[in-house]
């Protein structure tokens, strides 16, 4: 079946193809690159996706990076690299301006028309699969290690990460908890945007031995007060956004709906760094331990 292209998408792609982005792409172009090809000889790599960048560093291959995306905030050294933009709102000009000889991008990056230009540029391009469980993390390590030609390093990293994940999840399971947790992505204007199944939040909660209070829908959904009260979450989980950017604890717990839940009544609010909690990279074992410990501190 042929995919439909809307007039707006066509106009946007036309601008990309006729503008500076495509001119730069063509200046760099060689033979069309196939997704998944080896990047073993690449020395000027752009990493797109926080977990992708973390894995490159964990493999000791950071010297080959020339840029990263906005979500790549760890390790701190990565923030010194040029930032080519947010992974879901990339412009080809930004990526190609650093003259990469390879691109490593996490599945879900985009928009599609930018990827079209990047693939047309002739720069070797590898998409790293995303997954919100142990297998997903190990698959990332394998794909990146194989692409970079450092399979032995990747094997060692995978063994270490696997051991850490198995130990952390076993500890969480041993607690025998039955806690229901509501992950809130945002509360703009008092409207709760919550995580359902098939999300990073759903995956990390499962690994920490907790239940997602809204696993009955997929993705993210704005909730009404009745739904929140009916779900009766035992705790609220949110990502920390830095001083001045996160809703104050009292504002969250005093929300008209949350205040009527066990989470609100018992003041159970947990905040963790977003990339650490939801990145599903080399540090996820530690994140599972910290989340499990935080739940235990709240008696869950």
Same domain, 49 and 97: yes
Question: Would you say residue 163 has pLDDT above 70?
Answer: yes
Residue range of the domain that includes 216: 176-297
Q: Please compute the mean of the pLDDT values over residues 85-108 and round it to a whole number.
A: 96
Same domain, 47 and 79: yes
Q: What is the pLDDT of residues 171-192, one digit of tens each?
A: 999 999 999 999 999 998 899 9
Q: What is the pLDDT of residues 198-220, one digit of tens each?
A: 999 999 999 999 999 999 999 99
CATH number at 48 reads: 3.40.50.1980
Q: For residue 36, what pLDDT is reported?
A: 52
Among 1-10, 55-64, 68-77, 160-169, which is the least confidently predicted range? 1-10
Same domain, 72 and 138: yes
Question: Would you say residue 294 has pLDDT above 70?
Answer: yes
Confidence bin at 119 (pLDDT 50/70/90) = confident
Q: Which of 110, 127, 157 is the last residue of a domain?
A: 157
For 274-285, b/e burial (b = at least 16 CB within 10 A) is: bbbbbbbbbbbb
The token pair at 252 is 């969250």
Q: Which of 157, 191, 216 is the last residue of a domain?
A: 157
Q: For residue 248, what pLDDT is reported?
A: 76
Same domain, 67 and 112: yes
Question: Would you say residue 246 has pLDDT above 80?
Answer: no
- Within a domain: 89: yes
Same domain, 139 and 249: no
Domain count for the chain, please give it: 2
- Within a domain: 165: no
Q: For residue 25, what pLDDT is reported?
A: 41
Q: For residue 54, what pLDDT is reported?
A: 98
Q: For residue 38, what pLDDT is reported?
A: 83
Q: For residue 37, what pLDDT is reported?
A: 65
Same domain, 186 and 289: yes
Same domain, 274 and 182: yes
Confidence bin at 250 (pLDDT 50/70/90) = confident
Same domain, 73 and 127: yes
Cβ–Cβ < 8 Å for 127, 147 = no
DSSP 108-133: T-S-HHHHHHHHHTT--EEEEP--SS
- Within a domain: 290: yes
Same domain, 195 and 276: yes
Confidence bin at 245 (pLDDT 50/70/90) = low
- Within a domain: 120: yes
Q: Which residues contact 281 (CB under 8 A, 6 or more apart)?
A: 50, 51, 54, 55, 58, 137, 140, 275
Q: For residue 242, what pLDDT is reported?
A: 60
Q: Please compute the mean of the pLDDT values over residues 93-104 and round it to a whole number.
A: 96
Question: Would you say residue 139 has pLDDT above 80?
Answer: yes
Q: How far apart are CA 127 and CA 119, in angstroms?
A: 11
Same domain, 39 and 72: yes
Same domain, 201 and 126: no
Per the prediction, the chain carries an average pLDDT of 89
Rg (alpha carbons) of the chain, rounded to whole number: 21
- Within a domain: 170: no
- Within a domain: 241: yes
Q: Which of 108, 123, 157 is the last residue of a domain?
A: 157
- Within a domain: 93: yes
């Amino acid at each position: 079946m042929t995919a439909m292209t809307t007039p707006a998408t066509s106009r946007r792609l036309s601008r990309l193809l006729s503008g500076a982005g495509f001119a730069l792409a063509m200046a760099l172009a060689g033979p069309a690159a196939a997704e998944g090809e080896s990047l073993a000889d690449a020395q000027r790599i752009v990493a797109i996706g926080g977990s992708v960048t973390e894995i490159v560093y964990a493999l000791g291959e950071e010297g080959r990076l020339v840029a990263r995306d906005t979500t790549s905030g760890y390790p701190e050294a990565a923030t010194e690299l040029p930032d080519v933009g947010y992974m879901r709102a990339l412009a080809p000009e930004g990526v190609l301006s650093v003259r990469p000889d390879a691109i490593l991008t996490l599945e879900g990056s985009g928009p599609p028309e930018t990827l079209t230009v990047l693939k047309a540029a002739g720069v070797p391009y590898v998409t790293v699969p995303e997954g919100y469980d142990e297998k997903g993390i190990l698959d990332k390590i394998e794909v990146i290690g194989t692409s970079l030609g450092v399979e032995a390093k990747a094997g060692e990293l995978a063994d270490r990460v696997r051991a850490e994940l198995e130990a952390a999840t076993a500890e969480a399971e041993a607690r025998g908890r039955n806690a229901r947790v509501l992950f809130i992505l945002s509360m703009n204007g008092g409207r709760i945007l919550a995580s359902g199944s098939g999300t990073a939040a759903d995956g990390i909660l499962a690994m920490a031995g907790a239940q997602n209070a809204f696993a009955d829908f997929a993705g993210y959904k704005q909730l009404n007060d009745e739904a929140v009260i009916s779900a009766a979450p035992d705790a609220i989980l949110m990502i920390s956004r830095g001083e001045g950017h996160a809703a104050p604890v009292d504002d969250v717990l005093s929300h008209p709906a949350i205040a009527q839940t066990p989470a609100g009544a018992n003041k159970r609010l947990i905040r963790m760094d977003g990339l650490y909690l939801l990145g599903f990279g080399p540090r996820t074992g530690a994140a599972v331990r910290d989340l499990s410990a935080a739940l235990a501190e709240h008696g869950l």
